[in-house]
Chain A
Amino acid sequence: MKNPLLITALLITGAVAAWGILDTAGLARVASELVHALFKSRAWFIMLTVTFMLIVSLWLAFSRYGSIKLGKDDDEPEFSTVSWLSMLFSAGMGVGLLYWGTAEPLAHYIVLTDGGADAREAANQALFVTNFHWGLHAWAIYALTGLIIAYFGFRLDCPSLISAPITKVFGAGKFPAVAGWLADLLAIVAVAIGLGGSIAMGVFQIKEGVDAWLGLEGTGLGLMLTIFALLVTAYILPLTVDLSRGMALLSNAAMAIAGGLLIFIIIAGPTHYIMGGVTEATGEYFWNAFVHGFRTFTFMDEAAENWFHSWTLTYMVWWLAWAPFVGVFIARISKGRTIKEFILGVVLGPTIFSVLWFGVFGSVGFYAALNTDLPILELARSNASAITFYVLNSLPLASVTVLAVVAAAFLFVVTSVVSAAFVLGMFSSGGNLNPPVRIKLIWGGILGALGLVMILSDSIDAVKSIIALGALPFVFVVLLLVVCLLKALKSESVNAK
């Protein structure tokens, strides 16, 4: 066999896609049951892992290793700090923030008030947990994975592979080789399935946007499949030619639209209410985030436990699924920065932006729920994908802003899939920085098929379960990589003496 890793990865992801297309409900049910069983027995381990990653990242930043450069000692950063931070936001934002901006705080609010919580207190709590899901812990997972890829790639001249730190630190013996091969395989599976979910979420959102913009109703699967076909057409071409500059431009355009939207909502919405919500959420989040990282809801009832599984744990595993892909991206743009600069930039910068984003979008949603007669909570119960557009429709210039969100969602999905197909091609061709077009196209096809499976499931919960199942094994890989990094840093510091 010429490339056993590529063939095995294609067989696994292809089998998941085929199963999902032939029996969508069956795959969704099995994924949900397996994920529930794994979450039930391993919740403590997942929470400890993500909190451990946050502690290790912050410790590395302020330890004696903080001054080590991600590159040779005389390497300088390629991008200015402002441009670097902007690219970080863009990598982590994706379509998720557009989708969940208002929908997630409202979803938690509904659960809390259904359980008898006071409405005002529930709004506060709902914003806090949303920020927890998108904040420091999420970015610590990305930061540590990116740091490992950048340190081994730029400083120790290893190929950009998930297996590289393992074989570099433990040698090229039989066991490190097998562990490294498995790590590459698990990373590929996690990225492919995670990105499939992202395509589905993008399609759900764009469909609702088109419905809202054109005033359509009951368009269902037909419109989703049309949007899906357009997305696939839009990302296939960039896979055949080198359009890295063009892709960066499109990604920045999507980011600019999102930033413009944020400013527009602050100005056009109930400004004092939004800014009050942002301020409250910021204090609440940064004060309580660390302790919350240890919460496992063990002593709560089954409803609270189920909520914890389907939100907090799913998110944490979701970030792990994206980590190899986002990690490669942030490593590539961070050459020449010190470990301290890297960690503080990657962990704090996007977290602050996320707290602002959810503070603004969440507050505007709570304003509608608590101070107007708009039926936003009913909609949040029945169709989360439509919430962002509902909020925009309640503000001026709705036809422009709805179209802007549709365009941004489209651009985010296209740029993510193109980058993911590149990273998957790289991982499955021995770390080749210019993977063959044929391999990128194969991955583009697999990502499309996985996306189609999740669109056919027509359920955001099914999408979450399938992603979690693909990513759970990667928890072990990340921890092994952290050990490799700590050993390599210790060794470098001893050799330097």
Chain B
Amino acid sequence: MSYLIDTIMNIEIFAFIGLLVWLYFKPVDGDDT
């Protein structure tokens, strides 16, 4: 059980890091990069 909670709490972090990487490379309006 403790592994499960630990895994869930860390998956949130992995997802957040993934989101940041995606946001960094995602073109935004008016961005010609």
Q: Which of A's residues lie within 8 Å of B, judged by CB?
A: 38, 40-42, 45, 169-171, 476, 479-480, 483, 486-487, 490-491, 494-495
Per a CB cutoff under 8 Å, which of B6, B29, B32, B33 touches A41? B6
Given A171-B29, A490-B33, A494-B33, A483:B23 Cβ within 8 A? yes
Per a CB cutoff under 8 Å, which of A40, A41, A486 touches B24? A486
* A491 and B6 alpha carbons, distance in the complex (Å): 38
Binary CB contact string for chain B from 1 to 33 against chain A (1 if under 8 A, 0 otherwise):
000011001100100100010011000110111
* A308 and B24 alpha carbons, distance in the complex (Å): 32
* A183 and B32 alpha carbons, distance in the complex (Å): 27
Min CB distance, A291 to chain B, in Å? 22
Q: Contact check, A483 vs B10: say whether CB atoms are below 8 A apart.
A: no
Per a CB cutoff under 8 Å, which of A42, A487, A494 touches B32? A494
Q: Contact check, B28 vs A487: say whether CB atoms are below 8 A apart.
A: yes
Given A171-B28, A487-B28, A490-B33, A41:B9 Cβ within 8 A? yes
Q: Contact check, B13 vs A45: say whether CB atoms are below 8 A apart.
A: yes
Min CB distance, B14 to chain A, in Å? 10
Question: Is the contact region of chain B dominated by helix, strand, or loop, or is it mixed?
Answer: helix
User: Which of chain B's residues have a CB closer than 8 A to the CB of A479?
Assistant: 16, 20
User: Which of chain A's residues have a CB closer than 8 A to the CB of B28?
Assistant: 169-171, 487
Q: Contact check, A41 vs B10: say whether CB atoms are below 8 A apart.
A: yes
Q: Contact check, A480 vs B20: say whether CB atoms are below 8 A apart.
A: yes
Q: Closest residue of chain A to B25, judged by CB?
A: A487
Min CB distance, B28 to chain A, in Å? 6
Q: Contact check, A170 vs B23: say whether CB atoms are below 8 A apart.
A: yes
Min CB distance, B8 to chain A, in Å? 9
Q: Closest residue of chain B to A487, judged by CB?
A: B24
Min CB distance, A46 to chain B, in Å? 10
User: Which of chain A's residues have a CB closer than 8 A to the CB of B6?
Assistant: 40-41
Min CB distance, A3 to chain B, in Å? 28
Given A41-B6, A42-B13, A476-B16, A491:B24 Cβ within 8 A? no
Of A45, A171, A479, most buried by chain B (CB within 10 Å of CB) is A45
User: Which of chain A's residues have a CB closer than 8 A to the CB of B9?
Assistant: 38, 41-42
Q: Closest residue of chain A to B22, judged by CB?
A: A483
Min CB distance, A292 to chain B, in Å? 22
User: Which of chain B's residues have a CB closer than 8 A to the CB of A486?
Assistant: 24
Min CB distance, B29 to chain A, in Å? 5
Per a CB cutoff under 8 Å, which of B13, B20, B29 touches A483? B20
* A483 and B21 alpha carbons, distance in the complex (Å): 8
* A317 and B16 alpha carbons, distance in the complex (Å): 18
User: Which of chain A's residues have a CB closer than 8 A to the CB of B20?
Assistant: 479-480, 483
* A486 and B9 alpha carbons, distance in the complex (Å): 27
